[in-house]
Homo-oligomer: A and B are copies of this chain.
Amino acid sequence: MTRTRPEPAGPVTLKQVADHAGVSISTASNALTGSRSVSPASVQRVLQSAAALGYRRNEVARTLRTGLRNTVGVIVPDVTNPFWGGMIRTIERQAALAGFHVALTNTEFDATRETSALAGLVSRVDGIVLFSTRPTAATLQPLLDMGIPIVACDEVIDVPGLGGVYSDNVDGARTAAHHLVDSGGTVFGMLEGPEALSTASARRQGFREGLRDAGVPESAVHSVKAEYSFEGGREGIRRLLAAHPDVDAVFASTDNQAIGAMLEVLNAGRAVPDDLLVCGFDDISWSARLSPPLTTVRQDAEGMATAAIGMLLEMVTTGAAPRTEVFPVSLVTRESTQRTLAPSPVTIT
């Protein structure tokens, strides 16, 4: 004797509203959607009936008929990362303003989940904002063929037909390199991200270039691979310093990494910035709240998110062609790279 849900009392349909108002179903439909002219009297009656019966349009039926799903898919690797969290917030806000819902998938950096999410979103969404790891062209093509626009954000996806909104990662990393040199670094370390990520390789490339431009010899640059996470940073800096204890300036590919690294170093009794300069990338809100506050390359997350959802909605509603936008980044200088020039004399406050 399984308990079943309360009395079905099925949802009110448009037909019921029409009957109640004493008009035809199409007049009822038009009164509610306003797609063709209806006499004020009818509109009035239909609206009243709808309210009286508690009518709610069945969006699924509407979608089946019109093909408009009024939903955008958002695929991210990790909602808990404030960098992506903030972008989701922006996207959700803009989407809601335009009357769109957001279907969220968290891939946890798992390509399998990403692929199946993409597949599942077909026929459910009008378009997709993809913060991706590395989808294959084969995964994306079916969606594009079905006319579902996709905008890649943050990670470059090199598939024709996609919109793209990216940061100028190479430039940011180059700036970071110059800054570390200017701040007194002599032996450099980098926490690189996973091989496959475009941001990781761009930041590595920019950092290397920046150091080379500044005349730093290859022999004074060391790097290790690390995950884009707090734990990745902790564990990465351990490996880096174990192999190269003379490193005195480190550039991490993300703030999460940088923060993990900085706290690990502080715990081990070394001083930041006096023993080790630390610079991150992203400028998540927590970076300014640590002691010492973290110098980092700021990405315009809100601007990028706004651009991505804006471009997508444009593609969805007006059939606009995909574009690629690259956002400038900027160095935010804080104490983690402000070395006190000379060992300060004993001071009494």
Contacts and interface: CB of A to CB of B under 8 A. Distances in A.
Interface stretch (A21-29, A96-104, A182-190, A194-202): A96-104
A88 B8 CA distance: 30
A8 B147 contact: yes
A36 interface: no
A142 interface: yes
Interface stretch (A151-159, A215-223, A283-291): A283-291
Contact of A124 (B81, B101, B289): B101
A259 interface: yes
Contact of A79 (B11, B88, B161, B259): B88
A54 interface: yes
A146 B8 CA distance: 7
A78 B86 CA distance: 9
Interface stretch (A170-178, A237-245, A318-326): A318-326
B92 A321 contact: no
A321 B6 CA distance: 10
B106 A88 contact: yes
A145 B9 contact: yes
Contact of A104 (B69, B92, B318): B92
A58 B123 contact: yes
A2 interface: yes
B3 A319 contact: yes
The list of the 5 closest CB pairs from A to B, nearest first, reads A80-B85, A104-B104, A4-B319, A5-B319, A92-B106
Contact of A101 (B79, B103, B145, B321): B103
| Interface of A (DSSP majority class) | mixed
A82 interface: yes
A interface bracket (residues with beta carbon within 8 Å of B) = 35 or more
A142 B2 contact: no
A60 B230 CA distance: 40
Contacts of A137: none
Q: How many copies does the complex hold?
A: 2
Contacts of A270: none
A214 interface: no
Contacts of A74: 104
A145 to B, nearest CB: 7
Given A3-B320, A8-B147, A79 B92 contact: yes
24 contacts: A2-B319, A3-B320, A4-B319, A9-B146, A54-B145, A58-B123, A59-B124, A60-B64, A60-B69, A60-B123, A60-B124, A71-B103, A78-B89, A79-B88, A79-B92, A80-B88, A82-B85, A88-B106, A93-B108, A102-B105, A104-B104, A230-B285, A259-B289, A263-B289
Q: Which of A78, A88, A101, A122 has the most CB of B within 10 A?
A: A101
A262 to B, nearest CB: 10
A343 interface: no
A8 B54 CA distance: 37
Contacts of A92: 79, 104-106
A206 interface: no
A286 B230 CA distance: 10
Nearest to A71: B103
Interface in A77-129: 78-82, 85-86, 88-89, 92-93, 96, 101-106, 108, 113, 117, 119-124
A56 interface: yes
Contacts of A102: 103-105
